[in-house]
């Protein structure tokens, strides 16, 4: 019979071997990184290690240990959001993070960042960092090279002016119904948790109408459960987007389900629900298109299926390589559309509303434009209003500059070395090396954005034509770059979709209401304290797919009806 000491010794052998292997790999990566010539930060784990994703939060105490705790802030997914440009003040516009599994160059130079993001054939998207988006199939966000061109060709027709008109109309409807609901509430006050929930409902309903062709009222919503389903489409989407990490891990490592079988069963069940919903929607639109009834709808799925069916016909006529998307690829793209179309716009609205409440001067400034464009109209048309609401667009630009959905963007060299130029310094980046553009750093560096680079100031995005006095969105300051929707050929195809939705909601909100910081009894006593707490709550954000408020219940907004 084994003694306790012998049992412990045997049990420790795998741990020792694993540690030695990681140490060996870390040493090799460190040697490779030294050849690059950039400053090096050595870390014992990589932020994509699955076990680290699960346990990261439990190691926050390590950061307080002298000497060895330095690395922890660089190994969370939120480090670029939290630190922004500051690490580059110490390490320069390029530094290397070395772990047992990766050599990753972090860059903060705008010119280099644009170069890397634009040359999509040389700098590829690494599968390990984008597999979270491949849960239901590869898609335009995750694929590379010719596959990306094939996806993009099918997807482009889905985003068109006809769709943007629908987005505008539905956004106006949802915003109006939300404001009516707020107006009936005593005190007309909302914590930021209420604000977030309202923005989620708006984004969900706009996506339902402009994405799938199904419209719903703000208070009613699409919570009904159709035959053959156990969960509504709304609840299915909400669950998936709120449990993205669990879904990825359980899909990739089924054995993790033994640790929490209840959660595993729920996650897998909701995944099946989503697949079934999307297959039914695609099948309906495909049948309509094949029967000759296509081209009548403005929603994304309808246009996507029509383009895919057209690609199939072209294939038969030309007999070239495949040009259409498989059913699995259609499903993958629909998932990404849901993720991007719902989550990012809801987030932009959630952050802009408290920032407006905390900045009266900005409200007045934007309100002047809104009143001029609306000209007494309750809900103006898309063609008349959207182009003129430049200051409202500036709100979105500035919110996304500081709180955008993409905080950094990794690329890698795959099997071929690539030349990387940072200012006047050229470095040959070896194969299988990551180069990550720090969007949050580039968007906040005072060298380009000025001494108030961390201050939310939408006015910086407006330029005035000296001859006509007409306002337009300004380019980034000299030397800077703006990548909230990425940049180059792989810029987000839903960029204007989100802009139109945001402008419609915020403009109608400012037309009808004035936003005031909520004084929460027991937490604050003056409006100025409430204002400061709004800013504090916004600043205290975490990264969970996109930025999220950690404590939205600690601050709020009062909707004060305007007299006109």
How far apart are alpha carbons 481 and 180 in whole angstroms?
40
Strand partners, 471: 464
One domain, residues 117 and 225: no
Mean pLDDT (whole number) for 282-293: 76
439 touches 409 (CB < 8 A): yes
CB under 8 Å, gap of 24 or more: what pairs does 281-286 form?
A: 281/212, 281/334, 282/327, 282/330, 282/331, 282/334
Q: Is residue 79 part of a domain?
A: yes
Q: What is the pLDDT of residues 91-135, one digit of tens each?
A: 999 999 999 988 999 999 999 999 999 999 999 999 888 877 888
One domain, residues 31 and 105: yes
One domain, residues 159 and 113: no
One domain, residues 62 and 157: no
160 touches 299 (CB < 8 A): no
Which residue range forms the structural domain that includes residue 332? 149-406+446-479+483-561
97 touches 112 (CB < 8 A): no
Give Cα separations from 46 to 51, 73, 88 (angstroms): 10, 12, 20
One domain, residues 364 and 330: yes
Closest C-alpha among 501, 230, 541 to residue 342? 501
Q: Is residue 368 part of a domain?
A: yes
Mean pLDDT (whole number) for 15-24: 86
One domain, residues 306 and 164: yes
DSSP state of 339: I
When pLDDT is cut at 50, 70 and 90, the band that residue 305 belongs to is: confident
pLDDT of amino acid 543: 81
Q: What is the pLDDT of residues 409-467, one digit of tens each?
A: 999 998 899 999 998 889 999 999 999 999 999 999 999 999 999 999 999 999 999 99
pLDDT of amino acid 34: 95
DSSP state of 563: P
495 touches 348 (CB < 8 A): no
DSSP string, 290-312: HTT-TTS--SHHHHHHHHHHHHH
504 touches 205 (CB < 8 A): no
One domain, residues 295 and 396: yes
What percent helix, strand, coil does the chain show, rounded to 5?
60, 10, 30
Q: Report how many domains make up the chain.
A: 2
DSSP string, 7-19: HHHHHHHHHHHHH
One domain, residues 290 and 353: yes
Mean pLDDT (whole number) for 270-296: 80
pLDDT of amino acid 77: 58
When pLDDT is cut at 50, 70 and 90, the band that residue 174 belongs to is: very high
H or E stretch including 379?
Answer: none
Between helix 161-183 and helix 192-207 the angle, nearest 10°, is 140
Q: What is the pLDDT of residues 384-416, one digit of tens each?
A: 999 999 999 999 999 999 999 889 999 999 889
182 touches 559 (CB < 8 A): yes
How far apart are alpha carbons 545 and 406 in whole angstroms?
9
Show Cβ contacts of residue 32 under 8 Å, excluding neighbours closer than 6 positions.
103, 430, 433
Structural domain ending residue among the three candidates 138, 172, 200? 138
One domain, residues 207 and 297: yes
Higher pLDDT, 524 or 38: 38
Higher pLDDT, 12 or 328: 328
How far apart are alpha carbons 211 and 302 in whole angstroms?
8
For residues 446-456, one letter each, b for 16 or more C-beta atoms within 10 angstroms of the residue's C-beta and e for the rest, the string is eebbeeebeeb
pLDDT of amino acid 301: 84
Between helix 233-242 and helix 192-207 the angle, nearest 10°, is 120
Three-state SS string over 383-441 comes to HHHHHHCHHHHHHHHHHHHHHCCCCCEEEECCCCCEEEEECCEEEEECCCCEEEECHHH
pLDDT of amino acid 79: 78
Report the alpha-carbon angle 133-137-140, nearest 5: 65
| CATH number of 234's domain | 1.10.630.10
Q: Is residue 287 part of a domain?
A: yes
One domain, residues 246 and 365: yes
pLDDT of amino acid 285: 81
Structural domain ending residue among the three candidates 83, 110, 138? 138
Share above pLDDT 90 across residues of the chain, in percent, rounded to a whole number:
48
Neighbours of 109 (CB within 10 A): 25
pLDDT of amino acid 76: 55
Q: What is the pLDDT of residues 133-147, one digit of tens each?
A: 888 889 999 999 889
How far apart are alpha carbons 147 and 102 in whole angstroms?
26
pLDDT of amino acid 458: 98
232 touches 263 (CB < 8 A): no
Is the full-model pTM beyond 0.95? no
One domain, residues 506 and 545: yes
Q: Is residue 437 part of a domain?
A: no
Structural domain ending residue among the three candidates 138, 157, 189? 138
Closest C-alpha among 95, 98, 41, 92 to residue 71? 41
Q: Is residue 424 part of a domain?
A: no
Q: What is the pLDDT of residues 520-564, one digit of tens each?
A: 988 888 999 999 999 999 999 988 778 899 999 999 999 999 875
Q: Is residue 438 part of a domain?
A: no
One domain, residues 295 and 234: yes
Half-sphere exposure of 94 (CA within 13 A, CB side): 24
Q: Is residue 251 part of a domain?
A: yes
Q: Is residue 143 part of a domain?
A: no
> Minimum mean pLDDT among 110-124, 158-172, 316-330, 550-564: which range?
316-330
């Amino acid at each position: 019979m084994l003694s306790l000491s012998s049992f412990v010794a045997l049990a420790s052998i795998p741990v020792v071997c694993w540690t030695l292997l990681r140490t060996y790999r870390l040493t090799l990566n460190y040697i490779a990184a030294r050849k690059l010539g950039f400053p090096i930060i050595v870390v014992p784990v990589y932020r994509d290690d699955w076990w680290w994703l699960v346990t990261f939060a439990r190691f926050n105490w390590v950061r307080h240990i002298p000497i060895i705790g330095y690395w922890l802030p660089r190994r969370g997914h939120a480090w670029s959001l939290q630190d922004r440009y500051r690490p580059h003040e110490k390490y320069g516009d390029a530094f290397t993070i070395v772990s047992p599994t990766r050599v990753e160059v972090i860059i903060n130079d705008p010119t280099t960042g644009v170069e890397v993001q634009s040359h999509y054939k040389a700098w590829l998207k690494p599968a390990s960092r984008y597999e979270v988006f491949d849960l239901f199939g590869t898609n335009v966000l995750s694929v590379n090279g010719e596959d990306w061109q094939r996806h993009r060709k099918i997807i482009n027709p889905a985003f068109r002016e006809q769709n943007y008109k629908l987005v505008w109309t539905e956004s106006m409807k949802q915003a109006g119904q939300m404001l009516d609901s707020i107006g009936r509430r005593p005190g007309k006050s909302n914590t930021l948790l209420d604000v977030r929930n309202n923005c989620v409902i708006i984004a969900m309903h706009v996506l339902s109408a402009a994405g799938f062709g199904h419209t719903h009222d703000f208070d009613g919503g699409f919570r009904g459960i159709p035959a053959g389903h156990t969960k509504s489409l709304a609840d299915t989407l909400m669950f998936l987007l709120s449990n993205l990490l669990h879904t990825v891990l359980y899909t990739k490592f089924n054995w993790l389900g033994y640790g929490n079988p209840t959660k595993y069963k729920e996650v897998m069940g909701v995944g099946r629900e989503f697949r079934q919903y999307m297959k039914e929607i695609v099948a309906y639109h495909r049948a309509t298109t094949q029967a000759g009834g296509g081209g009548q709808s403005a929603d994304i799925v309808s246009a996507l299926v029509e383009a895919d069916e057209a690609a199939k016909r072209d294939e038969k006529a030309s007999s070239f390589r495949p040009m259409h998307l498989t059913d699995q690829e259609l499903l993958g793209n629909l998932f990404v559309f849901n993720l991007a179309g719902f989550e990012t716009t809801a987030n932009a609205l959630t952050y802009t509303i408290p920032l407006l409440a905390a900045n009266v001067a900005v409200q007045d400034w934007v309100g002047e434009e809104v009143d001029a464009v609306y000209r007494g109209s309750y809900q103006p048309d898309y063609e008349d209003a959207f182009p003129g609401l430049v200051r409202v667009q500036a709100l979105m630009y500035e919110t996304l500059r500081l709180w955008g959905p993409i905080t950094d963007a990794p690329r890698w060299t795959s099997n071929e070395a690539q030349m990387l130029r940072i200012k006047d310094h050229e470095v040959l980046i070896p194969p299988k090396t990551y180069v990550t553009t720090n969007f949050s750093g580039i968007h906040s560096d005072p060298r380009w954005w000025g001494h108030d680079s961390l201050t939310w100031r939408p006015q910086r995005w407006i330029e005035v034509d000296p001859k006509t006095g007409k306002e337009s969105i300004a380019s980034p300051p000299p030397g800077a770059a703006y990548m909230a929707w990425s940049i180059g050929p792989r810029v987000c195809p839903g960029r204007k979709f989100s802009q139109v939705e945001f402008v419609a909601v915020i403009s109608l909100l400012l037309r009808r209401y004035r936003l005031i910081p909520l004084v929460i009894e027991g937490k604050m006593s003056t409006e100025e304290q409430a204002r400061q707490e709004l800013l504090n709550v916004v600043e205290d954000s975490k990264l969970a797919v996109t930025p999220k408020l950690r404590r939205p219940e600690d601050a709020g907004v009062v909707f004060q009806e305007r007299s006109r």
